[in-house]
Amino acid sequence: MTIETQPGPATEFGDEAELDALYRDLAAVDLRPLWTITEQLLTPSPKPAAVPWLWSAATMKPLARRAISLVPVERGGERRVLSLQNPGLGGRPYAVGTLWGAIQCLGPREVAPAHRHTPGAIRFVLEGEGVWTTVDGDACDMRPGDLVLTPSMNWHDHTSAVDGEMFWFDGLDLPMVEALDGVFFEEYPGPGEAQPEPVEHNVSERTHAGGTRYVAGSVTDTLSPRHSQLMNYRWADTSAELDRLAAATDDPLIRVEYVDPETGASVLPTMACAVHRVRAGRRSAPVRRAGNAIYVAYQGSGSSVIGGERFDWGPGDMFVVPSWVPVEHAAHEQADLFVVSDEPVFRALGIARTETLPEAQQVTGTFTPR
């Protein structure tokens, strides 16, 4: 963030020339007078640099396919990933100020080498089959609609055992960990670029088969500095939970958050994952929240009004709602939106805030995807 120094207030103390000299002398010794920048620092409400934005599947997929044919997945580059780069962030490769969002793809029988890092990641599978992510030795099969966790400092690699292509969404807390000057990264020492394939896949899933994996709405109180030990949340379970909740209410929006079955906390200390189901022909109330979120339209189609602008979406489209910008959703046909956010951090710091607005937003424009 660049903060311009505003001219100091005209004052009865001292004269103009002396005041100018004071500002020059302060700058020369690396001191900054707060009174000239107070209003830019202590804003009445968040002023995110990121703007509401949408990346369409129709634009991303052909480019990802070109990358599959042109760019190998190798040690050093590590991943074939196209990051959502918010145009408001001045060239930083982040979807919103606190979150990395990306589309990742694997070509036939490719292996993305094992590594680990302090930033935590979540994957939401869009399309393809025959791929697993090995998370600290546990091979987690990935199927469309599944949520797979690769928490901070867990070894992870991605392996395709089939001839097809695979696409998924990645969400990482990288910008947060970077802001904390806490990024560490290590290549897997081997032998081999990937971790050995275990005889049995999906061990964490079997270990936690009985636990509660979802809460209606979102986690409100529980916090945990540990991540969930369950690494794969299956779409069949997620959609069954949505169906169950939908049967009990007539609300336009049904929300489910994935939780750690042992603690009931959000899946990672830094990120919450949820699915919002919008009923066909219905519109949700406008809400704004302190904190950023990335949405991935999984199935169905509709539109969201974000800060007065209308964003139309369908399967595979990704869009962002920056901090404190109001958002409301409407679905043409029943739609499921996967959402990743920085909510647990706001709760851990005691600064969480959400507001439901009394009236639908005025629509002042429609976003045109590039």
Interatomic CA distance for residues 370 and 59, integer angstroms:
7
φ, ψ at 303 (rounded to 5°) = -150, 155
* Amino acid type, 179: A
Q: Which of 60, 84, 102, 296 binds ligand GTQ (CB under 6 A)?
A: 102
DSSP 211: S
Tokens 């791929």, located at residue: 131
**Token duo for residue 267:** 């899946």
Strand partners of residue 160: 131
For ligand GTQ, give the closer residue by CB, 159 or 218: 159
- Other beta carbons within 10 Å of 355: 12
| Cα Dmax for the chain | 80
Q: What SS3 state is found at 278?
A: strand
For ligand GTQ, give the closer residue by CB, 152 or 238: 152
For ligand GTQ, give the closer residue by CB, 156 or 276: 156
For ligand GTQ, give the closer residue by CB, 194 or 306: 194
Q: How far is the CB of 82 from ligand GTQ (least distance, A)?
A: 9
Q: How far is the CB of 213 from ligand GTQ (least distance, A)?
A: 23
* Amino acid type, 362: Q
Q: How far is the CB of 78 from ligand GTQ (least distance, A)?
A: 6
Decide: 299 and 255 in contact? Cβ < 8 Å: no
Site string for ligand GTQ, 71-90 (x = CB under 6 A): --------x-x---------
Per CB under 6 A, contacts with ligand GTQ among 150-169 are 156
Interatomic CA distance for residues 270 and 121, integer angstroms:
10
* Amino acid type, 229: Q
Q: Which of 172, 265, 268, 296 binds ligand GTQ (CB under 6 A)?
A: 172
104 binding ligand GTQ? (CB under 6 A): yes
170 binding ligand GTQ? (CB under 6 A): yes
Residue of minimal CB distance from ligand GTQ?
170
DSSP 102: E
Q: What SS3 state is found at 135?
A: strand
284 binding ligand GTQ? (CB under 6 A): no
For ligand GTQ, give the closer residue by CB, 83 or 229: 83
First to last CA, the chain: 26
Q: How far is the CB of 342 from ligand GTQ (least distance, A)?
A: 16
341 binding ligand GTQ? (CB under 6 A): no
For ligand GTQ, give the closer residue by CB, 148 or 253: 148
Interatomic CA distance for residues 110 and 97, integer angstroms:
32
Site string for ligand GTQ, 113-152 (x = CB under 6 A): --------x-------------------------------
Interatomic CA distance for residues 313 and 369, integer angstroms:
10
For ligand GTQ, give the closer residue by CB, 175 or 300: 175
Residues that bind ligand GTQ (CB under 6 A): 79, 81, 102, 104, 121, 156, 170, 172
